[in-house]
Structures are given as structure tokens and as C-alpha cells.
Chain A
């Protein structure tokens, strides 16, 4: 009985160990198969990652160069704008085109961050600003930003005229009035025959000497003499070829 019990216990132990080993084998083989799949998949992934690394290798240098070039361009344009328009007007122009951008100011001009931009764009369009700045050096922002708007939208021309010196306006008060025409006009113009031009004569004051008609200013300007046609008796000489080289004229934009 005891021997049978010992034999039974031993058999159960052996069965348990065999069972455990079988379980281990089954699961470990399954895990090994999965790990092989993983290895194959990772090899494929490494190929793709290698391509990515290879293709993205020059990106840093190229992007860095592009950024440096763009920074140079921005600095150049900002410097030119500030040089030509002044820091105040430049900020006003920038803020007019991109509202709110003047708060960040210009990169190379730290004082621009604390400068209050004039309200240029509220009263002038871009074209007006450009023409005024290019042509007349108008003090557009002289009264801004604390003053009232410089330009009345309904009477824009009158408001704009106040911006410029009086000498440029050539007020009509300093000019003679327009001539009077009609039967009661002081100067009577007779009917002109065809193909002729009749200049007016002062009818009521014949004693007054006639002032010579001023030549138009264009006539007073020296004109290039027209080349005389060759005489008929002269032998025709072939026109000399121009000796100047046919190269295009080179214009240097740098200050001498």
C-alpha cells in the first residue's frame, strides 16, 4: 500500500513536471516565432528610417542658408525703409499695411518697439503715401499720432494741399484771371480763313501797343538740330556705321 502510494506520488510529480515543461515549450516556441517576426519587421523599419535619415540630412544646412538669406533681405528692406522714411513714418507705413505689426518694431532698431506709430494708414492709401513720400517729402505724420486725422475723406484734396508748402500750390490769386469771351469781351477774335491762324486783337484800346506774343516755352528750349538733307548735287555717301559699341549701357546704382 505504501509502495503504491509512493509510486503514485512519484508519477504525479513526473506528470506535473512534464506538463510544466510542455507548457514552457509551447509558449516559448510561440514567443520565439513572434520574435522572429519582430526582427524581420524591424529590419524593414530600419530600411525606411535609413532612407529618412539620408534624405533629411541636407535639410538643416539648406534651411539655415535660406533663413540667413531671408534675414539679410528683411534687414536690408527695414534699413532702407527707416533710412528713407524715418523711424516714425516707417512704423506708420508698416502698421498701416499690417495692422498691429508695429508693436513688434524692427529687428535692427530696438527703439522702434517703444515708438508709437503714426496713424498714416487711417487717412491715406498706400499709393498716396508712396507718391507723397517719393515726390514731395510730405510731412504726413507731422501731426500724428496725437493730432487729428490729417485728411478729411470728403474734402481730401483741400486737406492734402495743406500739407505742402504754399509755394508749391501756386494759388490762383497770383495768376491772371481767365479771358472773357463773347461779343462784349475786350478782345475780339475775327473769323479765321481756312488754313490760317488769326490771333486776337484788343478792340477797345487800339492805341495800346500790341505786345509780341510770347513764344511758347517749348520753342525756347534748344532743340537738337535736325540733320540737313544731303544736297542733290552731292554724291550720296553711304551713311557711316556707328562706331559706338553695341553693348548695352551699364548703370551703376552705387553712389559715386
Chain B
């Protein structure tokens, strides 16, 4: 009988607080995750908007190719006009 009461006491005074403590910790962690997910979602949306200018890189690529071709033409002209050392 004493052991039974002792078991009840352990159940109420030890097991129950431990269960509550552990579950409260898990709940706190789970509760904090949605806020961070919302932050990540906002950042992802902003990053996606920032990348809207990426297609312009294709224009930049074409312009660079044309510019280098022009530089090559000028260089060829200078190579003809100027004497070597």
C-alpha cells in the first residue's frame, strides 16, 4: 500500500512535471517556427522580385559582345595605323 501511494506521488510530483516541461519546450519551439517561416517567405518573395532584372543580363551579354567586337575593330585599325615598336 505504501508503495502504491509512493507510486502515485512519483506520478504526480515527478512524471507529470517532466511531461509538462518537455511538452512545453516542444510547443515553444513549434510556436516559434511559423514566425521564422513567414520571414523566410517574405525574403524569398523579395529575392524573387530582385531577380526580375535577370533577363536583362541577356541584353547586357549582347551589348558586351558588340562592344568587344567594336573594340576589336578599333584595335585592328590601330594596329594598321600605328607602327610597332
Kindly count the residue-residue contacts between A and B in the assembled complex, taking CB atoms under 8 Å apart: 154
- When the two chains form their complex, are residues A23 and B23 in contact, meaning their CB atoms are under 8 A apart? yes
Closest to A34 in B: B30
- When the two chains form their complex, are residues B1 and A6 in contact, meaning their CB atoms are under 8 A apart? yes
Interface residues in B42-84 (C-beta closer than 8 Å to A): 43-45, 47-48, 51-52, 54, 57-58, 60-61, 64-65, 67-68, 71-73, 75-80, 82-84
Interface residues in B1-56 (C-beta closer than 8 Å to A): 1, 4-5, 7-8, 11-12, 15-16, 19-20, 23-24, 26-27, 30-31, 33-34, 37-38, 40-41, 43-45, 47-48, 51-52, 54
Task: Return B27 CB to nearest CB of chain A, in Å.
Answer: 5
On chain A, the number of residues with a Cβ less than 8 Å from chain B's Cβ atoms is 55
Query: From DSSP, what is the main secondary structure of chain A's interface residues?
Result: helix
Q: Which residues of B contact A42 (CB under 8 A)?
A: 37
Provide the bound-state CA to CA distance between A38 and B29, in Å.
11
- When the two chains form their complex, are residues A41 and B85 in contact, meaning their CB atoms are under 8 A apart? no
Partner of A84, one of B12, B31, B47, B78: B78
- When the two chains form their complex, are residues A27 and B27 in contact, meaning their CB atoms are under 8 A apart? yes
Provide the bound-state CA to CA distance between A227 and B37, in Å.
89
A171 at interface, CB cutoff 8 A = no
Interface residues in A48-106 (C-beta closer than 8 Å to B): 48-49, 51-52, 55-56, 58-59, 62-63, 65-66, 69-70, 72-73, 76-77, 80, 83-86, 89
Per-residue contact bits, chain A 229-241, to B (CB 8 Å; 1 contact, 0 not): 0000000000000
Task: Return B36 CB to nearest CB of chain A, in Å.
Answer: 9
Q: Which residues of A contact B44 (CB under 8 A)?
A: 45, 47-49, 51-52
Enumerate 29 A-B pairs (CB-CB under 8 Å) in ascending A order: A5-B1, A19-B16, A20-B11, A23-B16, A23-B23, A27-B24, A35-B30, A38-B34, A38-B37, A41-B37, A41-B40, A45-B37, A45-B44, A51-B44, A51-B48, A52-B44, A52-B47, A52-B51, A65-B64, A65-B65, A66-B64, A70-B68, A72-B68, A73-B68, A76-B68, A89-B85, A253-B73, A253-B76, A255-B80
